[in-house]
Amino acid sequence: MLTYVFLFLTASILLFQGIQLLGEIKKPLGVVPSEVKLQESSARSWGERFIGFGIFSLVIGFLSYPYPSLFQYLVPTIIIDGCALAVFTLYLIFVAPRVEYIGKPTEGEHH
């Protein structure tokens, strides 16, 4: 039972993140600052991958109820989902655009 909780949790995270990435392209809400916004092509590809992984996980999870032979694929699916989220996190940290801070003092000379 706990396997299903983790599977559906990671699938929902992937789906929501993918929908948010694709939604920011079509109709920006201003949630993501423009300085760190992903390029449209990379946001679209990440969003489509996340939605694909999320839907695949949900299909495997729901089909494993009537077909217990699919239960053996739940843990590898969770691992694949977790790896996708980890790769995206590393992409955001090391590859995605970053804010360039200029070395200005925030307070005036006389405080």
Residue by residue, pLDDT tens for the chain (111 residues) are 888 999 999 999 999 999 988 888 888 777 666 666 778 888 899 999 999 999 999 999 999 999 999 999 999 999 999 999 999 999 888 887 766 666 665 666 665
Domain residues for the domain of 88 are 2-94
**What is the spatial distance between Cα 91 and Cα 86, in angstroms, rounded to a whole number?**
9
Residue 102 lies in a domain: no
> 71: number of CA atoms within 13 Å, CB side?
9
How many structural domains comprise the chain?
A: 1
**What is the spatial distance between Cα 56 and Cα 76, in angstroms, rounded to a whole number?**
12
Residue 72 lies in a domain: yes
For tokens 């053996």, the residue is 72
In terms of Cβ atoms closer than 10 Å to its own Cβ (0-12, 13-18, 19+), residue 46 is: buried
pLDDT of residue 55: 95
pLDDT of residue 104: 62
Question: pTM for the complete prediction?
Answer: 0.78
Residue 44 lies in a domain: yes
